[in-house]
Amino acid sequence: MRKLLIIIIFSIFPNLLLADDKAKEAKIAKYIMENIQKDYLDCYSFYKVAAESFKKAGKEKNLIDSLEKSADASLKYNYDLGEIMGFKAEVMAEMTREKVDKFVELANKDFSSLAKKYGLTCKNLVENPKERTSYWEKKGSKIIK
């Protein structure tokens, strides 16, 4: 999976292969990876909280299974990117616990707003990571000089 993500990032942005030679491109590549990793962490937390909320509400098992599958995929990519960036497993685990706790708190206050904010973004991230990678590349190109 990690190899697939790296291939996706570099196939979309072949110039990033020369990132060592170009400081700006290296900074943009780092920016993309950091933000995609955060997106996957947010999405893991969202899917995990949504699945648990739907379980408690007695929703359909296939919906819950789908949410849990998306959570698993998000967690895997989150850890893969974190590992590439040099994060230790313990640090990533703590970050994940903290983020899930934050999302539980948000869901308890207003699950609808949480779903509105993260539902579509996370669905698109899991189904089409190239699109989100492109988003961060464009944003990084604008802010990194």
pLDDT of residue 18 exceeding 60: no
Of 56, 41, 65, 64, nearest in space to 108 by CA = 56
Distance CA 131, CA 58 (A): 33
Residue 9 is assigned to a structural domain of this protein = no
- The rounded mean pLDDT for the chain is 88
Averaged over 51-80, what is the pLDDT? 93
Residue 12 is assigned to a structural domain of this protein = no
Percent of the chain at pLDDT > 90 equals: 70
Averaged over 41-65, what is the pLDDT? 94
Q: How many domains does the chain have?
A: 1
Residue 68 is assigned to a structural domain of this protein = yes
Residue 10 is assigned to a structural domain of this protein = no
CA dihedral angle for residue 25, residue 28, residue 33, residue 39, rounded to 10 degrees: -160
Q: Which domain holds residue 44?
A: 40-143
Averaged over 28-49, what is the pLDDT? 95
| Beta-carbon count within 10 A of 31 CB | 17
Distance CA 56, CA 13 (A): 43
Distance CA 109, CA 90 (A): 29
CA dihedral angle for residue 27, residue 83, residue 64, residue 107, rounded to 10 degrees: -60
Q: How confident is the model at residue 145 (pLDDT cuts 50, 70, 90)?
A: confident
Q: Are 1 and 80 in contact (CB under 8 A)?
A: yes
Residue 27 is assigned to a structural domain of this protein = no
pLDDT at residue number 41: 97
pTM confidence score: 0.82
- Residues 104-142 have pLDDT tens digits of 999 999 999 999 999 999 999 999 999 999 999 999 989
Q: Are 1 and 114 in contact (CB under 8 A)?
A: no
| Beta-carbon count within 10 A of 48 CB | 22
pLDDT of residue 3 exceeding 80: no
